[in-house]
Structure 1
Amino acid sequence: MSRATRLGPVAAIVGFLAFVEFTSGIIQGYYTPLLTDIARNLGIHDADVNWLEGTQLMLSALVVPAFAKLGDMVGHKRMLVWSTAITAIASISLAFTDQFWVFLVAWALQGFYVVWLPLEIALIWSRSRGSAHPAAMTRTAAGLLVAALELGAIAGALSAGALAEVLPMTALLLVPAVAVTVCFFVVLFGVKESPDLTGGRLDTGGLVLISLSLLALTGGLSFMRLNGPADLLSWALVVLGVLLVWPFARYELRHPDPLIDVRMFRSPMLWPVFLTAGLFGVSVLGAQAPLSTFARTDPSAVGYGLGATSFQTSLLIGSYVLSMVVGAMLFPVFARRFTPRVTLIGASSMVAVGFLLFLPFHDGYGQVLANMIIVGLGSGALVAALPAAAAAAAPPTQTGVATGLTNSVKTVGGAIASCVFGIALLGSAGEAVHGTAGSFAGYMTVWLICGVTAAVAAGLLALVPKLAFSDPVDAEPPADPTTGGGDVGASAAVR
């Protein structure tokens, strides 16, 4: 079948949503090569750049639950429009300030782009729910969206490197702002709203409790990364964040329309997906900076590393991102051939194998490149697979919440990993020349943790019912949505 045929009723909006993800990729890839230039423009130390990452990480953890639930209630497109507008305003603000605190606030608000992919997957699922093969359509669309995301990241990184030499800082930072502004009008005029919205009122009590929990947890981890593992305030915040989950869960169980239906965490189809998302966040969000710094480390000075130039390192990162594109595109193909569950297990296993190969094979450029390509293939498939799997297995009224949870849990996993990896690399750094290179034991720890967490994720996914996240094998003509056809995702998982 042609791709348009496989996408069925969602074909008309996938192109617009792919542009949204391409823009998301530009945001994620454009600024990284410019961070040193941005620090000089703001007059801050390089170490203070960590505050940019920390504040955006905290905000992204907070906004996803609220916007995901509001998407189910009042419209996924509506929340996509609002989040794009906020991101556009923040992106424009970045270009017109040289004050660090203003830049910090705008940078944090730009993090609203993290809700785009969960809202898009929920939008696609809701529009395909009445068809014969909604899960397959969602998987195919998710693969296309993630491919657009990674291509946008490549375009962003390459364009930033090329323009940095010819444009002043204001014009340089306006480039992604223009892209996001165009994206706003693409969503506003090109995307149709989800059908069958749930309505209701937002669970503000639950939102306050989960926000306090996430704020304490991510804030504590950020302070711990800056101040070290001996900082008592950091540990107190982390413990407080964990403890606040209990009253939140109790409150949500009593609420008639909860922000997050915590009963989903009891589902044999969903809890392995959520836990896999958290474990996947360890590598996809936490390990990229250590891989880059290892490549740049001079082996003649410290006895390990590749001594790669910035161009050689960009080729490594580019190869990794391109392999993610391939993995995302192959995900629906393998899911049709081997079932989504087996494909998820295979993708997690590839991530595990790729990172564990770093333990014996890390001395040559070709070895590291091969390892990163293996990791990238599995990672690309998982980025596309996890929200699509959550959408297929979630209750019809919780689609946006379920897809958003995969993103939130992944962010928390990445925050924990970022803290642990930062401490591990710093722990023996005094043994390295001038104290600027991470310790070799720290790098080994990063690779081992990433490999083991991915292997654990593969094991957890093996516990999922065999045909979970699949369409019914005996699917007849498209179900009538007025007669309960919206429960396809739940029925498919037990067939």
Structure 2
Amino acid sequence: MKHSNAARLGTVAAVVGFLAFVEFTSGILQGYYTPVLTDIARHLGIHDADVNWLEGSQLMLSALVVPALAKLGDMIGHKRILLVSTAITAAASLVLPFTDQFWVFLAAWALQGFYVVWLPLEVALIWSRSRTAERPAAITAKAAGLLVAALEAGAITGALLGGALIDALPLTVVLLIPALAVVACFVVVLFGVEESPDLAGGRLDTVGLTLITLALLALTGGLSFMRLNGPGDWLSWSLIVLGVLAVWPFARWELRHPDPLIDVRLFRSPALWPVFLTAGLFGVSVLGAQAPLSTFARTDPAVAGYGLGTTGFATSLIIGIYLIGMISGAMLFPFVTRWVAPRIALVGASGLVAAGFLLFLPFHDAYGQVIANMVVVGLGSGALVAALPAAAAAAAPAHQTGVATGLTNTVKTVGGAVASCVFGIALLSHAGADAAASASSTAGSFTGYVTVWLVCGLTAAAAALALCLVPKGAFSDGSRADAGAGHPLGEDAATTR
């Protein structure tokens, strides 16, 4: 038995090594562009607030594709879908350096968002190899922490490299580097990663996919129109309401389907629904606030009356320190759960994110203040990025790990898309009224930045409260024996798990 467990752990360690390179590349994509967003805006001839269009479009497309890709991973192979998503990301990344047309750039930037399914697929790959070991939840949590550490190391590398190169090289050359990294990532996955041993098979629920796609299109389309026409536009609100209402027929269909795209009964699980809610609320800050934080740092206080006036490299240092905080949070989480229950650790991580953003309200005038705030946010964010998909995998049925981990990313992406729209409107809505902002034609409003910090802080606090409702002992290996009674799919699912 010991030899068998050692062999399983060796297999897990091997796949984690290759997947760490994938997450390192994902980190490059997430960190590299942030310090150069202002330069991209000037290159495309758009307002700073319109940078949120790039972020929002990518988040919207990601919300559409993750459910299908996660389900296909469970059905036909997590590695296979990882390869497909990597190929699409590489192709889109190669378009960015060679266009100065906003709509072409926007479309390629959106397609680049296929990388968001990488981490859920990787966690599913790891869980498929570790679930027969003695402590699968702990193994998966540690592996997820290593992957997130690799992700944030890549983000630090990308942020520092992007910030340094943008001050020295043409933008075309700067944008080509991450594209080449994704191409290398495809080669690593193709030759270094083995397929999941047990696949669910079956046929894709195309009706369910169509229904949820229409719902998400209506929701994200309404958000897009609201950014164009303002919060008083009736068409925008009509589409948003239609998107929310369209979830009902989707849920009804999924409940009747023998092999649903998304088993909505997962949302009834007392251990899973707070995780999904937390992921959505967490998406507001970890995805929706990236562009505003970068543009705030780059805004010249001598012109606008606020901001830090940092160069590209100085901005990348802020991002790099924040990402070091995320690495620390991701790596510390498995050790913290040795002394406290995983749900308590998740509550504490959400509390750190809330505290960090609320600290911006009084402390935002100095470079050191912003760095200190971002370290607090980073510690909590790193723990959540690593722990949420691992917690979902531990609480879900064995044949639904890809779906469950994918759902954490889907709802996180939807939360980020909503936040991106709201923040874009907030940064523009007072630009004419703020005397400071009116001095610069491209700077967002200070009132808008205050809105960003406040919303991020309050949503993180709400996530902490939601996690308090998770049953005691959830997400730990010791709770697996009792999982059947509380699981929405019954005792058989828990026994299989």
Fold conserved (TM > 0.5)? yes
Give the 3-state SS of the residue equivalent to 2:337 in structure 1: helix
Give the 3-state SS of the residue equivalent to 1:465 in structure 2: coil
Query: Of 313, 319, 334, which aligns to 1:332?
Result: 334
Amino acid at match of 2:80: R
Go from structure 1 to structure 2 and tell me whether the alpha carbon gap of 1:152 and 1:70 turns closer, same or farther (over 3 Å shift): same
C-alpha deviation, 1:232, in angstroms: 2.2
1:453 aligned to 2:459?
yes
Give the 3-state SS of the residue equivalent to 1:472 in structure 2: helix
1:141 aligned to 2:143?
yes
Instruction: Indicate if the aligned counterparts of 2:56 and 2:420 stay in contact, CA closer than 8 A.
Output: no
Task: State the distance in 2 between where 1:36 and 1:295 align.
Answer: 10
C-alpha deviation, 1:81, in angstroms: 1.1
Go from structure 1 to structure 2 and tell me whether the alpha carbon gap of 1:197 and 1:450 turns closer, same or farther (over 3 Å shift): same
Q: Deviations over 1:279-307 (max 9, x none)?
A: 11111112233333333445556654445
Amino acid at match of 2:239: L
2:123 maps to which residue? 121
Instruction: Indicate if the aligned counterparts of 1:61 and 1:411 stay in contact, CA closer than 8 A.
Output: yes
1:27 aligned to 2:29?
yes
Query: Of 91, 94, 98, which aligns to 1:92?
Result: 94
Identity of aligned residues (%): 76
1:388 aligned to 2:390?
yes
Query: Of 176, 179, 182, which aligns to 1:177?
Result: 179
Task: State the distance in 1 between where 2:341 and 2:298 align.
Answer: 40
Amino acid at match of 2:181: A
2:59 maps to which residue? 57
Give the 3-state SS of the residue equivalent to 1:196 in structure 2: coil
Go from structure 1 to structure 2 and tell me whether the alpha carbon gap of 1:329 and 1:488 turns closer, same or farther (over 3 Å shift): farther
1:243 maps to which residue? 245
Go from structure 1 to structure 2 and tell me whether the alpha carbon gap of 1:258 and 1:293 turns closer, same or farther (over 3 Å shift): same
Matches within 5 A, 1:241-320: 241-299=243-301, 304-320=306-322
Give the 3-state SS of the residue equivalent to 2:204 in structure 1: coil
Q: Deviations over 1:108-134 (max 9, x none)?
A: 222111110110011111110100111
Task: State the distance in 2 between where 1:77 and 1:469 align.
Answer: 25
Task: State the distance in 1 between where 2:411 and 2:24 align.
Answer: 23
1:470 aligned to 2:473?
no
Go from structure 1 to structure 2 and tell me whether the alpha carbon gap of 1:332 and 1:68 turns closer, same or farther (over 3 Å shift): same
Q: Which moved more, 1:213-222 or 1:403-412?
A: 213-222
Task: State the distance in 1 between where 2:153 and 2:377 align.
Answer: 17
1:217 maps to which residue? 219
- Size of the alignment, in residue pairs? 479
Q: Deviations over 1:63-115 (max 9, x none)?
A: 10000000011111111111111212222233444555444333222211111
Query: Of 425, 432, 436, which aligns to 1:433?
Result: 436
Q: Which runs of 5 or more structure 1 residues have no equivalent in the other structure?
A: 476-483, 491-495
Matches within 5 A, 1:392-411: 392-411=394-413
2:363 maps to which residue? 361
Task: State the distance in 2 between where 1:398 and 1:323 align.
Answer: 32
Instruction: Indicate if the aligned counterparts of 1:59 and 1:109 stay in contact, CA closer than 8 A.
Output: yes
Go from structure 1 to structure 2 and tell me whether the alpha carbon gap of 1:441 and 1:5 turns closer, same or farther (over 3 Å shift): farther
Query: Of 338, 341, 347, which aligns to 2:343?
Result: 341
C-alpha deviation, 1:20, in angstroms: 0.3
C-alpha deviation, 1:443, in angstroms: 3.0
Go from structure 1 to structure 2 and tell me whether the alpha carbon gap of 1:196 and 1:52 turns closer, same or farther (over 3 Å shift): same
C-alpha deviation, 1:246, in angstroms: 0.7
Go from structure 1 to structure 2 and tell me whether the alpha carbon gap of 1:205 and 1:380 turns closer, same or farther (over 3 Å shift): same
C-alpha deviation, 1:224, in angstroms: 1.4
Q: Which moved more, 1:51-60 or 1:260-269?
A: 51-60
Task: State the distance in 2 between where 1:26 and 1:225 align.
Answer: 28
1:370 aligned to 2:361?
no
Amino acid at match of 1:290: P
C-alpha deviation, 1:338, in angstroms: 1.4
Go from structure 1 to structure 2 and tell me whether the alpha carbon gap of 1:313 and 1:39 turns closer, same or farther (over 3 Å shift): closer
C-alpha deviation, 1:419, in angstroms: 1.9
Go from structure 1 to structure 2 and tell me whether the alpha carbon gap of 1:45 and 1:432 turns closer, same or farther (over 3 Å shift): closer
Task: State the distance in 1 between where 2:175 and 2:26 align.
Answer: 15
Query: Of 227, 230, 240, which aligns to 1:228?
Result: 230
Q: Which runs of 5 or more structure 2 residues have no equivalent in the other structure?
A: 1-5, 482-490
